[in-house]
Amino acid sequence: MAEKIPIYYLGKKHLVPEGVTIMSAIEYSGHRLIRGCGCRGGFCGACATVYRVPGNHQIKVGLACQTRVEEGMDIAILPYYPAQKKISDFKPGDDPVPVLNKMYPEMFRCLGCGACTKICPQDLAVMDYIAEAQRGNLDAVAEMSFDCVMCGLCASRCLAQMVPYNIAMAARRFYAAVFLPRPDYVKGRIAEVKEGRYDKEIDSLVSRPKEELQKLYETRDIECI
Amino acid sequence: MPYPPHFDAALESVAATRNFRKGQEIKRLSDEERTALIADYHPDYRSEGMAPLALGANKGGRVPVELKKMLEAYSLFQPLNINLTEPDYTTDILVVGGGGAGCAAALTANDLGARVLMVTKLRLGDANTLMAEGGICSAVRPEDNPYMHYLDTIGGGHYTNIPELVKALVMDGPEIASWLMDMGVMFDYEEDGSLKVNHCGGHSRKRMLSCKDLTGLELMRVMRDELRDREIPYLEFTPVADLLLDEDGRCAGAVLYNMETGEFNIIKAKAVILASGGIGRLHIQGFPTTNHYGATADGLAVAYRAGAELIHMDSIQYHPTGTVWPEQLLGQLITEVMRGHGAHLVNVEGNRFINELECRDTCASACIRECTKNELGIKTPTGMEGVWLDTPLIPDIQKHFVGIYQRFKKYDIDIQHEPILVFPTQHYQNGGLAINPQAETSVKMLYAAGEVAGGIQGKNRLAGNSLLDIFVYGRRAARSAFEQLKSVETNGNLTAGHLLKWQESLQELGVPKEQQSPIFLPDYTPAGKG
């Protein structure tokens, strides 16, 4: 059994095994989570956690399912943070800046303090992608914000009271729906399917006995890596 | 926690053979060899892991023992005591589950003009869909076609798939890809503007479309945003405790459970679409899982009590490459695309033991054989065992697999230079509720989509086919429910008669009162672990 170290969950002391994640430690302490826990794999952002460690004035953050406990850490999981989300409003031909301005005008009130970037548990350059959004550089916002799990921590810190992750969400969707290529072959394939181009071939497979299918399967040609 | 010194020798062997392995061809297994390997080593074939059901539509059918407990279980409330005359909610279509299949169903029903209410156990979108890394398969490229996609899927499923369901899957694939693009999903592209496609196990063509290694996250974010754009109502932390029928035996609502207040609420609906996901958090045969916190087979339990039939429920998918070290990441998924990009599976002596592009059940069985009979696994100081996934073979891995790279970096493991220790992890329930191509279950006005439905993937699912399946059948369920709504004039009174009967049968069988389901969440507290 690993060595036990003290942690404080919502101010209450618990002894937990060294090296485990914050989430495991909270459960080890007898708490059965309802909120503040989702995928348990670092994807969903349900377990955004703020904490302090002894002898350091700084507030620290992490996803509870991905962050290991430290001796004496004082922990709270942020179960929810109110956010404003505007209805997406863009179409081909639209200029990014006015679209984003209309949806989230507060974006232009960024004070450049960097609190959002500092707190992001995904290490995203939040303040910088907001700057790119102000310039209408959707591709840059999309790339820079791609790993966002929408945990809400940036919104909790923003002095301009914006919700950076929803601005990034709008920018990514706008970019993907309007500016990313749409290869002709996708449309072509959909038309082929609709016209029944594959019906006969596939129906012949649907009705085929296992032995014959097996032969076709075993001898099919496989594209190289 | 970097690799402890304990691993040094094994790390040296894997590095020493790396150059040689690059040029090494490993033949794919013949059908006979594959069948024998699976029969000898796949967990589904361990007889102590399965037991026959004592009642219900699949009486006598074998299911995992952990699931049997959920299926042969009492309701969480006393059916006699519940007041069904004044529903708390009414709607046209109730969608149960806020993952990919549920969102696809809700959006499609909303397109058609139906009144929809979605209920979900965790937050909207906190589901297995969001955790998918690799991508979604769709035969859109000129070099590919639905015929080959069909053949790969049914061969990969060992010819146990329901043919009509596979046909619908592969034929709807291109339209689904386009639907997602319209909604604003950021797929990966090559410089020439064509879609980036990846190879993965069991597919004969490169057909997996991706959004870096966070495909599910991107799909889920976009669908969730669209759902909010359209102001489709949803209730979070409110799973379904039971389904309700009307006097004609049609599904006509549900008993909801508010996990935060402990209240039960009644909802009356003209149709119910179950998209409640999988089973991983039951920890079948003690395996770790890649699944999210709420994957506890609720949908199977409530639908089975309502009379729905199951299919292939003796078939569970173990993903060959779940993380073994560091322990904090135990069971978490390492996408199959890594093998598609050339990462080898390697034993303690530095040797490969299987063609890495074999199907999941085959690769998983080979990994288990290596660590059991062959005694060539790599042992951890904590008593676990695994084989290497040799990631340094992948050029620019930190760019293509940024999520996984970062996750290991936090534990001082640099996957550019060091392999990942892996072992099979419970990933997917291959079986589920039996459906037809219209996503209808054997209970009228009850539809199923996504992981809770079975038959589409047969007894072994190919990578990238479940992200497709959830959208294909989520959309189909909504369309057929909407079509049928027109014929449901007014459904009669709600009844819980089927639950009373179920209760009596359980009592006759001597099932203890404490055996209740759904459990909604696993219990990882010391008290819950026992």
Provide the pLDDT for residue A1: 54
Decide if B177 touches A, using CB distance below 8 A.
yes
What does the domain layout of chain A look like in residue ranges? 4-77, 96-179, 193-218
Provide the pLDDT for residue B402: 84
- Please, which residues 63-82 of chain A have a Cβ atom closer than 8 Å to chain B? 66, 68
8 Å CB contact of A40 and B150: no
Over residues B438-454, the mean pLDDT reads 98
Name the residue in chain A with its Cα closest to that of B29.
A218
B317 has a pLDDT exceeding 70: yes
To probe the interface with B, which of A186, A214, A219 has the most B CB atoms within 10 Å? A186
pLDDT in tens, B339-373: 999 999 999 999 999 999 999 999 999 999 999 99
Q: Are strands A74-77 and B234-235 parallel, antiparallel or unpaired?
A: unpaired
Q: Which residues contact B286 (CB under 8 A, 6 or more apart)?
A: none
**Is residue A207 classed exposed, middle or buried when 0-12, 13-18 and 19+ CB atoms within 10 A define those classes?**
exposed
How close does chain B come to A169, measured CA to CA in Å?
Answer: 8
CATH annotation of A4-77: 3.10.20.740
Euclidean distance between CA atoms B456 and B432, whole angstroms:
10
How close does chain B come to A202, measured CA to CA in Å?
Answer: 6
SS (H, E, C) A118-174: HHCCCCCCHHHHHHHHHCCCHHHHHHHCCCCCCCCHHHHHCCCCCCHHHHHHHHHHH
Q: Six-digit token pair at B275?
A: 């998209």
Decide if B57 touches A, using CB distance below 8 A.
no
Q: Are B359 and B156 in contact (CB under 8 A)?
A: yes
Residue position matching structure tokens 């072994």: B460
CATH annotation of B5-41+317-427: 3.90.700.10
B5 has a pLDDT exceeding 90: no
Residue B199 annotated to the active site: no
Instruction: Using pLDDT thresholds of 50, 70 and 90, give the confidence band for residue A129.
Output: very high
Over residues B512-522, the mean pLDDT reads 97
Q: How many CB atoms lie within 10 A of CB B286?
A: 9
Over residues B243-254, the mean pLDDT reads 96
How close does chain A come to B250, measured CA to CA in Å?
Answer: 31
Q: Which residues contact B239 (CB under 8 A, 6 or more apart)?
A: B96, B119, B120, B121, B256, B257, B259, B276, B294, B298, B518, B520
Residue B123 annotated to the active site: no
Provide the pLDDT for residue B292: 97
CB pairs under 8 A between A and B: 201
pLDDT in tens, B51-97: 999 999 999 999 999 999 999 999 999 999 999 999 999 999 999 99
Euclidean distance between CA atoms A174 and B529, whole angstroms:
47
What is the average pLDDT score of chain B? 95
Q: Six-digit token pair at B466?
A: 């479940």
Nearest Cα neighbor of A26 from A57, A60, A49, A58 is A49
Q: Six-digit token pair at A170?
A: 């709008």
8 Å CB contact of B328 and A24: yes
Q: Kindly list the residues from chain A whose CB atom is less than 8 angstroms away from the CB atom of residue B408.
A: none
pLDDT in tens, A74-92: 999 999 999 999 999 899 9
Nearest Cα neighbor of B62 from B344, B284, B289 is B284
**Is residue B313 classed exposed, middle or buried when 0-12, 13-18 and 19+ CB atoms within 10 A define those classes?**
buried
Q: Kindly list the residues from chain A whose CB atom is less than 8 angstroms away from the CB atom of residue B183.
A: 173, 177
What does the domain layout of chain B look like in residue ranges? 5-41+317-427, 79-131+179-190+211-315+430-454+469-490
Residue of A30, A37, A188 lying closest to B526 (CB–CB):
A30
8 Å CB contact of B186 and A172: yes
Q: Six-digit token pair at A215?
A: 């032969």
Provide the pLDDT for residue B491: 63
Decide if B151 touches A, using CB distance below 8 A.
yes
**Is residue A54 classed exposed, middle or buried when 0-12, 13-18 and 19+ CB atoms within 10 A define those classes?**
exposed
CA B221 to mean position of chain CA atoms: 18
Query: Which ipTM did the prediction report?
Result: 0.97
Q: Six-digit token pair at B422?
A: 């892996």
B1 has a pLDDT exceeding 70: no
Provide the pLDDT for residue B67: 98
**Beta bridge partners of residue A9, listed in sequence order:** A12, A75
Q: Are B251 and B445 in contact (CB under 8 A)?
A: yes
A96-179 under CATH 3.40.50.970, yes or no? no
Residue position matching structure tokens 């032995």: A211
Decide if A207 touches B, using CB distance below 8 A.
yes
B464 has a pLDDT exceeding 80: yes
Instruction: Using pLDDT thresholds of 50, 70 and 90, give the confidence band for residue B490.
Output: low
Q: Six-digit token pair at B446?
A: 């009850």
Name the residue in chain A with its Cα closest to that of B198.
A225
pLDDT in tens, B137-171: 999 999 999 999 999 999 999 999 999 999 999 99
Q: Are B99 and B275 in contact (CB under 8 A)?
A: yes
Decide if B76 touches A, using CB distance below 8 A.
no
B207 has a pLDDT exceeding 60: yes
Q: Kindly list the residues from chain A whose CB atom is less than 8 angstroms away from the CB atom of residue B148.
A: 220
CA B10 to mean position of chain CA atoms: 33
What is the average pLDDT score of chain A? 95
Q: Are strands B420-429 and B446-448 parallel, antiparallel or unpaired?
A: unpaired
How close does chain B come to A38, measured CA to CA in Å?
Answer: 6
Q: Kindly list the residues from chain B whose CB atom is less than 8 angstroms away from the CB atom of residue A39.
A: 126-127, 130-131, 292-293
Are domains A4-77 and A96-179 of this chain identical in fold? no
Out of B281, B292, B339, B400, the active site residue is B339
Residue of B164, B174, B332 lying closest to A41 (CB–CB):
B332
Cα angle B53-B58-B61, degrees, rounded to a multiple of 5: 55
To probe the interface with A, which of B27, B195, B221, B290 has the most A CB atoms within 10 Å? B221
Euclidean distance between CA atoms B518 and B99, whole angstroms:
18
B424 has a pLDDT exceeding 70: yes
Nearest Cα neighbor of B343 from B287, B405, B292, B289 is B405
Nearest Cα neighbor of B114 from B144, B138, B94 is B94
Q: Kindly list the residues from chain A whose CB atom is less than 8 angstroms away from the CB atom of residue B177.
A: 186
Out of B203, B312, B319, B479, the active site residue is B319
pLDDT in tens, A146-190: 999 999 999 999 999 999 999 999 999 999 999 999 999 999 999
The fourth-level CATH superfamily of domain B79-131+179-190+211-315+430-454+469-490 is: FAD/NAD(P)-binding domain (3.50.50.60)
